[in-house]
Amino acid sequence: MRNLVFRISYDGTAYHGFQCQDGQITIQSELERVLKVLTGEDLRITGCGRTDAGVHAIRYYFNVHTNSPIPCDRFVLAMNSLLPSDITVSDCREAEEDFHARFSPKYKTYVYRILNQRNPEALLCNRCYFYPIPLDVEKMQDACEVIIGEKDFKCFMASGGQVKTTVRHVTELTVTKKGAEVEIRISANGFLYNMVRIITGTLMQIGIGKMTKEDLREIIDNKCRKEAGMTVPPHGLYLYDVYY
């Protein structure tokens, strides 16, 4: 049996997240619907992770086991012609039999985009979190070193996350100003539920002067979700890439 790995992008605005849910249209349900049309098989795909409703993906990977003889490059063309235009396939290749999109990643990178100006901008409405209070990007950037490293990030996990350990290794965390946009980029070997959105909300508290770098250190030590910042909305979040 072939094990195919696909690289896709999606605009999450119109979907109830990646994963199949009864009666809801999700990225996964659209992909499996189209794969059934192409292969005639009832395939179950394995995504590299769940994304919530409204979250986007620049490079998302999934794998699927199939008996279909369709060549990889034809899969790309055929899927793009059948999928809605807010889900696109950019690559398909043969993988080792044991490749597993969810368990094989070494690390992942997410980007969170904030539009930090006085007025909102129509063409970024589902793409950036509009936040009119000026953010001190230097202070936010300076605080990043407190988060970088292998730590227990229980304080940045939303309730509902079920995991054996809340220790993760954050290898990269930067805050950059690009015109009126503030971009937060974070890489780690794994992420807890809503971790990027809570880290972003916490860094924003620092950016408006309601929290300090020392507070952040204590919050992590105390492992208390309530002390951290709010969970910022999903539409500013992008799964940027996954590294296997």
Q: Which residues lie near its own copies (CB under 8 A)? A: 8-11, 56, 58, 76, 80, 85-90, 119-123, 125-127
CB 229 within 8 A of CB 205: yes
The helix/strand/coil state of 92 is: strand
- Taking the least distance from each CB to its own copies, the nearer of 78 and 158 is 78
CB of 156 to its own copies, least distance (A): 26
Query: In the structure encoding, which two tokens stand for residue 14, read together?
Result: 């119109």
CB of 176 to its own copies, least distance (A): 19
- Taking the least distance from each CB to its own copies, the nearer of 76 and 216 is 76
Q: Please give the distance of CA 148 from its chain centroid, rounded to a whole number.
A: 18
Query: In the structure encoding, which two tokens stand for residue 222, read together?
Result: 């105390």
Residue 1, burial from CB neighbour count under 10 angstroms (0-12, 13-18, 19+): exposed
Query: In the structure encoding, which two tokens stand for residue 63, read together?
Result: 């794998």
Q: How far apart are CA 78 and CA 94, in angstroms?
A: 17
- Taking the least distance from each CB to its own copies, the nearer of 192 and 196 is 196
Catalytic choice (11, 22, 42, 52): 52
- Taking the least distance from each CB to its own copies, the nearer of 15 and 107 is 15
- Taking the least distance from each CB to its own copies, the nearer of 85 and 159 is 85
Strand pairing of 46-47 and 181-188? Answer: unpaired
CB of 57 to its own copies, least distance (A): 8
The helix/strand/coil state of 208 is: coil
CB of 177 to its own copies, least distance (A): 20
DSSP H helices, 56-136, are: 72-82
DSSP string, 7-25: EEEE-GGGSS-SS--TT--
Whether 52 is catalytic is: yes
Residues marked active site are found at: 52
